[in-house]
Structure 1
Amino acid sequence: MPARSSAEARRPATAGLLSIGQVLAKLSPEFPDLTPSKLRFLEERNLVAPERTDSGYRKFSAADVDRLRFILTMQRDHYLPLKVIREHLDDLDAGRTPRLPVGLDAAVPSILSSDRRYSREELIREAQATPGLLSDAISASLITPADTFGDDAVQVLRALVELQRTGIEPRHLRGFRASAERELGLIESALIPVSRRNDASSRAKAAELAREIASQLEIVRSSLIRSALGRLQS
């Protein structure tokens, strides 16, 4: 092994790593709500472990940035709570190949993939849908109107394509939006004690608690549907 040059010997161990500000500059175009407090909160939850300088400043590697992009995408587009994301990352760190929650494996092939944004035409083509079906989905409040759409919209529109083959149209699912609004009311009520403290850390904790509650509500909903299907088949 060749000897290190004097310049290399003097180079700090954190050379080439990114500061919090540089990480924000890289990720903010994709995640406009990302803040230093959010990054520190993710570190507190053991989802990312940046290096520290002798002065205590955080320094992030390229792998850290990819990891953050994965975490933020899972939160934004799939509403996964940090507990689920952390368990998935822990398995990856241990050399295992875990499956993501049902329905997400195809949408997120690897931790290094970044979220793709789709134009209206690209969304229709990707989901193998028709312009009319997308318009109906937006009218039924099943997909939020936007200039570009994420992977979540692709998954929903694909599901609507399959449902349409069985005679179920978006207009038949309008009650889903009302149900979601009722669940949101439950979540907002549960967040009142945390949201009273209007600081950045409390807002981050409230957002994470909301995802945790939503995840538990999803478990209850899925169980009720499975139970109803069991009665239907018996």
Structure 2
Amino acid sequence: MSIGEVLAQLRVDFPDVTISKLRFLEAEGLVEPQRTASGYRKYSWDDVARLRFVLTAQRDQYLPLRVIREQLAGWEASGEFPERSRPALVAVGPDGELPGREAGHESGQVRLGRSELVSRSGIDEATLGELERLGLVVSDPPGWYDGDALIIASAVAGLSAYGFQPRHLRGYRTAADREVGLFAQLVTPLVRQSDPAARARAAETARELVALSQQLHAALVRVGLRSTLGR
């Protein structure tokens, strides 16, 4: 199949995939289509299966490319056909969940009104106003909220059950801003390039940095609590 035919196959389940994305995954060594004498890419059904594996792992389980690459290497070693294999979830939460992900959607694609955000997250209007005042939740455009706002508000609702108040969470905002500054230094040079592949690499780099940061934070908190728990 040509790259256009592969794109048509994948867009049934992954409507946001682009040719630039497929080229980026090739550049990262996750798929290696054959080339014709004139240089055109030709994909096999095995290549399409690999791409489905990668895209599923990113969309549903938010795995970094490093982990996906390791899982594909394991598949190759075992000879298991990828269409029958599912990406293994890398658990970072105490119950095996992977936070920071709005189920079934990219967070930036979710669009919620103010009342819907309140009802779905479990917080009240006063708490939402306080979160906005502290810069923990931002509406963009004004009056509309994305999936990340829902994740933040839902987490705050859960923490409030243990006595946390929005003012206790200022440190989270400060720590996140520090990480954003560090990560921006890595991805900004790629974003400024006109090459679409470089922009795709910037998005994937940001995705991996976020996933690794979540794992690091969760592990550090668990380690810090061991003495308190007597473990």
TM range (shorter): 0.5 to 0.7
Contact 2:7 2:18 in 1 (8 A): no
1:117 pairs with 110, 118, 127, which one?
110
Tell me the alpha carbon deviations over residues 3-29 of structure 1, each in whole angstroms, 9 at most, x when there is no partner: xxxxxxxxxx88xx5757x95xx945x
Q: Which runs of 5+ in 1 are unaligned?
A: 1-12, 29-33
Amino acid at match of 2:185: S
Amino acid at match of 1:225: V
Q: Which residue of 1 aligns with 2:66?
A: 83
CA offset at residue 57 of structure 1? 6.4
1:189 pairs with 185, 188, 191, which one?
185
Instruction: Quote the Cα distance in structure 1 between the aligned partners of 2:83 and 2:197.
Output: 27
CA offset at residue 86 of structure 1? 5.8
- Number of residue pairs aligned between Structure 1 and Structure 2: 206
Tell me the alpha carbon deviations over residues 165-200 of structure 1, each in whole angstroms, 9 at most, x when there is no partner: 222112221221221121122223345775675532
Instruction: Quote the Cα distance in structure 2 between the aligned partners of 1:170 and 1:68.
Output: 37
**Residues 1:145 and 2:139 are matched in the alignment:** yes
Query: What root-mean-square deviation, in Å, do the aligned CA atoms of Structure 1 and Structure 2 show?
Result: 4.6
Relative to the length of structure 1, the TM-score reads 0.60
2:175 pairs with 158, 179, 196, which one?
179
Tell me the alpha carbon deviations over residues 109-147 of structure 1, each in whole angstroms, 9 at most, x when there is no partner: 7xxx45573523223222222222223223322233132
Instruction: Quote the Cα distance in structure 2 between the aligned partners of 1:193 and 1:40.
Output: 19
SS of 2:183's partner is helix
SS of 1:143's partner is coil
Taking a change above 3 Å as real, the CA distance of residues 87 and 195 of structure 1, as seen in their structure-2 partners, is same
Q: Which runs of 5+ in 2 are unaligned?
A: 76-81
Taking a change above 3 Å as real, the CA distance of residues 148 and 54 of structure 1, as seen in their structure-2 partners, is farther
Instruction: Quote the Cα distance in structure 2 between the aligned partners of 1:84 and 1:65.
Output: 15
Contact 1:191 1:206 in 2 (8 A): yes
Tell me the alpha carbon deviations over residues 36-82 of structure 1, each in whole angstroms, 9 at most, x when there is no partner: 323321344466799999994679x999998787566469xx6x533
**Residues 1:37 and 2:30 are matched in the alignment:** no
Taking a change above 3 Å as real, the CA distance of residues 108 and 124 of structure 1, as seen in their structure-2 partners, is closer
**Residues 1:133 and 2:133 are matched in the alignment:** no
CA offset at residue 98 of structure 1? 3.4
Larger radius of gyration: 1
Instruction: Quote the Cα distance in structure 1 between the aligned partners of 2:196 and 2:137.
Output: 29
Taking a change above 3 Å as real, the CA distance of residues 191 and 98 of structure 1, as seen in their structure-2 partners, is closer
Tell me the alpha carbon deviations over residues 80-110 of structure 1, each in whole angstroms, 9 at most, x when there is no partner: 53334566788874435733534349x677x
